[in-house]
Copies of this chain bind each other. A is one copy, B any other.
Amino acid sequence: MSQRIPVVEKILSANDHLAEENRRRLDAAGIFSYNLMASPGAGKTSLIERTIAGLAGGRRLAVIDGDVATSIDADRARAAGAMAVQINTGGDCHLDAVMLKSALETLDLGSVDMLIVENVGNLICPASFKLGTHRSVLIASVPEGDDKPYKYPAMYRGVEALVINKIDLLPYVDFDMEYFQRGVEILNPGLVTFPLSCRTGEGLDAWLEWVALGGTGPGSSRDRE
């Protein structure tokens, strides 16, 4: 399959160029932005609902939701009080900078302070496609198991924050937090991590504080992207 590598490289380079354009556009509008990535069902939409509800100070939030099909997630974000745009990728397993560019064109950027992009549920493909957002965040969830950093290293390596969701399920599953975090530390030393439960609300305050401060809050000493 080595013949297709140059094509892939060309696509990625064109994508990165467009990602830079998206970033400039967001910066010009004064919008700080997050790219949320996770396995299907880890809790991206639930975390967005909690974030919309928990962000103080009248900040105007927009959500761009990527899914293979349906507008379930954008509907939930809208019901929670955000402006929301749904992108349906058809068969594509990730968002890319072109899709984000198109979605940005449908938003009134002058009335947005913060943007959360919810990527397609997938622990592999989204890691390869920059969107132009300011911070990339991975959501792991306890019932997925403690071996995921070892099995999906590119995803764990490429983010500026990690949420460990569904900690309320820790008593009911086999999840060795020490083994999980050792894997994370190997791939992404010092990564800022938020263990929390979107269901019970436990641990949400630290996450909300970090988001409110633009991803530079307590526990985060890095600005790598």
A residues with a Cβ closer than 8 A to B are 1, 7, 39-41, 67-70, 72, 91-93, 98, 120-125, 128, 141, 143-145, 147-148, 150-154, 166, 168-169, 172-174, 199
Q: Which of B41, B67, B92, B93 contacts A39 (CB 8 A)?
A: B41
Residue of B nearest to A154 (CB): B91
B91 touches A40 (CB 8 A): no
B143 touches A166 (CB 8 A): yes
Give chain B nearest CB distance to A91 CB in angstroms: 7
Q: Which residues of B contact A91 (CB under 8 A)?
A: 124, 128, 154
Q: Which of B1, B143, B154 contacts A41 (CB 8 A)?
A: B143
Give chain B nearest CB distance to A15 CB in angstroms: 11
Q: Which residue among A40, A123, A173, A174 has the maximum number of chain B CB atoms within 10 Å of its CB?
A: A40
B148 touches A41 (CB 8 A): yes
Q: Which residues of B contact A39 (CB under 8 A)?
A: 39-41, 121
- Pull 14 A–B residue pairs with CB atoms less than 8 Å apart, ordered by A: A39-B41, A40-B123, A40-B152, A41-B141, A41-B143, A41-B148, A70-B151, A72-B147, A72-B150, A91-B124, A93-B93, A122-B123, A122-B124, A168-B172
Copies in the complex: 2
Q: How far is A187 from B152 in the complex, measured between Cα atoms in Å?
A: 30
B122 touches A93 (CB 8 A): yes
Q: Which residues of B contact A122 (CB under 8 A)?
A: 93, 122-124
Supposing A124-B120, A141-B143, A143-B143 touch, asked if A68 and B172 sit within 8 A by C-beta, the answer is no
Residue of B nearest to A92 (CB): B124
B124 touches A93 (CB 8 A): yes
Q: How far is A181 from B160 in the complex, measured between Cα atoms in Å?
A: 37
Please give me the 8 A-B residue pairs with the lowest Cβ-Cβ distance, nearest first: A41-B144, A143-B143, A93-B124, A41-B145, A39-B40, A40-B123, A70-B150, A93-B125
Supposing A40-B123, A93-B124, A122-B93 touch, asked if A67 and B151 sit within 8 A by C-beta, the answer is yes
